[in-house]
Structure 1
Amino acid sequence: MNLEHLKALVAVIDEGTFEAAADQLRITPSAVSQRIKALESSVGQVLVRRRVPCTATDAGALLLRMARQVQVLEAEASAALGAGSPARAHLPVAVNADSLATWFIPVLHQAAGWDDAALDLLVEDQGFSSRLLRDGAVMGAVTSDPVPVSGCRVELLGSMRYIPVAAPGLHRRFSTSGAPDWSAMPVLKFNAKDTLQQQLLTAKGVAGPPPTHTVPSSQGFFAAVKAGLGWGMIPELQLDGELERGALVRLEEHTHQDVALYWQAWALDSERLGRMGAAVRAAAAAQLRAGDGQELSGPSRAGHRPRK
């Protein structure tokens, strides 16, 4: 398998079109097409679905993983040999929005000092990020899946605690004797994958959904809760004194959800990827709760895929 052909495969999938891949590789679109066809001929299978954007077939995903690994190892070998200035290898990593807005920030501070690596962050729900590892789209992922993807290592990072909160005005409007009217109080969700709020409503016996607003941004979700648009499950790390100042109200004192997070990464002997894993572990150890996300209250979450 020709190295230049593998680089063309990565460029086509990352850039989305043959034309954009050509710009990135500084060759013509025709040359990109020829390299992809040659690679497909060598393995006897179609590797790229020609659409906008281009996507990898199952066979293409397998080669995409290998191509990314080869690129990282090539850059590290060149640096070890002293072949010019160190090549900046791309490290595609999946992380959920709530983590990126809170405990993951120190990882970004460390990465700012890496002259030989560039982060490509993909924001994905922690219950779905392992799929990106299988597809070869990322080399590492913050995930809630404890089962390692084939060819990957997995380790527990800790747990994020989510707490049901609302703006004081919203709480007063939809409370009776201090208890929330769960069936009437407007609620927020992050996106279609977000089931944290619905799980709590189901535990409260709420049959039909209350008025529901969708806010697909971690910071926007938090701002919408503070604005009184609806109640929501907010990461404990994001509250930062909001309860003490009275800006938000906890809807039930002992209700919360602890979501276990894991670091999954390719089992690759790479200094850059190892450095990334070490930064993730250090940030998680400093801010996440210890443990595997055992729930302290509320319904069973067997098979639950939490949000963001």
Structure 2
Amino acid sequence: MPEFPLDQVRTLLAVVDEGTFDAAAAVLHVTPSAVSQRVKALEQRTGSVLVTRTKPVRLTESGQVVVRFARRLTALEQEARAELRGVGEPVRVPFAVNADSLATWFLPALARVPGVCFELHREDQDHTTALLREGTVMAAVTSSATPVQGCSVRLLGHLRYLPLAAPVFAARWLTGSLLDDLARAPVVMFDRRDDVQDRFVRALGGARASEWRHYVPASEVFVEAVVAGLGWGMVPEEQAAPRLRSGALVALAPDRRVEVPLYWQQWKLDLPALSTVAAAVAEAASTSLRSARH
């Protein structure tokens, strides 16, 4: 395999990050034609198509390999430059995290990490590994215990969800068998990939929640939608506690819950900034998430 010219590798990374050849050209201060020529030359060197020319562009499997290399190279370069200059130039660490973690326990962990520039990608915990595989991020909070190739994995804990509804909603819709009621009652879902509500119904012995579904893709707004009575929903324990105390929400089944295991996956890369982030995340998770023994 021939060597990868650094200007071509950096150009491919810019195309992926910016989404189009024109946008990458603006960031790199070159013409779109030059960007296209560099990517085409890199494809000729690798003998593979690296990106599909859509808007935004999409990486092929071969492109994912090159982009993972490019991100490692960029991170190491930033760290080396900071050491040589003797200044705290921030290292950029892109990672993926689910919305409920962002809204509850995750952000305080980042505040403990100085000298790092964070690039957050919000994604469902069942799908964050795809961003690792593509090379979009260097680390991710995920529900998958199976490590992506080239990554390490560690259990952070379990994020507990409680089945809740507004009192007025419960009085109207939940009057008989809970399983029968949930088959017809409106339900609030985060998005079309949100499986937590259906998982709860399956645990009760049903097939899935009703087809009367409201999609609310923002964690705090999701909770407020349940409080407002749009439907019932599975609310993270930390967000549920004050609303249960105030009476804004009531539990549908006090002895029932869904616990989603969360793992930290990161590239096997000897990068102090990444290790520092991982340690801060693990510490925050240890005090906020449920351990397996609980």
Larger helix proportion, structure 1 or 2? 2
Which one-letter code corresponds to 1:104 in the other structure?
F
Kept in 2: contact 1:78–1:86 (CA 8 A) = no
Which one-letter code corresponds to 1:190 in the other structure?
F
Displacement over 6 Å in runs of 4+: none
- Distance apart, 1:135 and its partner CA: 1.0
Could you say which residue in structure 2 is the equivalent of 1:228? Answer: 229
Could you say which residue in structure 1 is the equivalent of 2:47? Answer: 44
Cα 1:229–1:153 change in 2 (3 A) is same
Structure 1 gaps of 5+ residues are: 295-308
Could you say which residue in structure 2 is the equivalent of 1:93? Answer: 95
Could you say which residue in structure 2 is the equivalent of 1:34? Answer: 37
- Distance apart, 1:234 and its partner CA: 0.5
Counterpart-to-counterpart distance in 2, 1:177 and 1:127: 33
Kept in 1: contact 2:24–2:35 (CA 8 A) = yes
The answer as to 2:204 corresponding to 1:201 is no
- Distance apart, 1:285 and its partner CA: 1.2
TM-score by length of 1: 0.88
Kept in 1: contact 2:200–2:257 (CA 8 A) = no
Counterpart-to-counterpart distance in 1, 2:85 and 2:258: 50
Kept in 1: contact 2:157–2:289 (CA 8 A) = yes
Please list the CA deviations of residues 94-153 of structure 1 after superposition, one character each: whole Å capped at 9, or x if unmatched. 000000100002123235x42xx3211111111111111111111000001001111001
Please list the CA deviations of residues 197-226 of structure 1 after superposition, one character each: whole Å capped at 9, or x if unmatched. 122223445567252211111111101000
Aligned with 1:105 (options 81, 94, 107): 107
Identity rate of aligned residues, in percent?
A: 46
Please list the CA deviations of residues 22-49 of structure 1 after superposition, one character each: whole Å capped at 9, or x if unmatched. 1112222222122212211211111111
Which one-letter code corresponds to 2:195 in the other structure?
T
Counterpart-to-counterpart distance in 2, 1:61 and 1:210: 37
Cα 1:30–1:207 change in 2 (3 A) is closer
Could you say which residue in structure 2 is the equivalent of 1:125? Answer: 124
Structure 2 gaps of 5+ residues are: none
Kept in 2: contact 1:154–1:264 (CA 8 A) = yes
Could you say which residue in structure 2 is the equivalent of 1:303? Answer: none
- Distance apart, 1:266 and its partner CA: 0.1
Q: How does 1:280-291 map to 2 (within 5 A)?
A: 280-291=281-292
Please report the RMSD computed on the Cα atoms of aligned residues, expressed in angstroms.
2.0
- Give the paired residue count: 289
Could you say which residue in structure 2 is the equivalent of 1:300? Answer: none
Kept in 1: contact 2:199–2:258 (CA 8 A) = no
Q: How does 1:64-79 map to 2 (within 5 A)?
A: 64-79=67-82
- Distance apart, 1:87 and its partner CA: 4.3
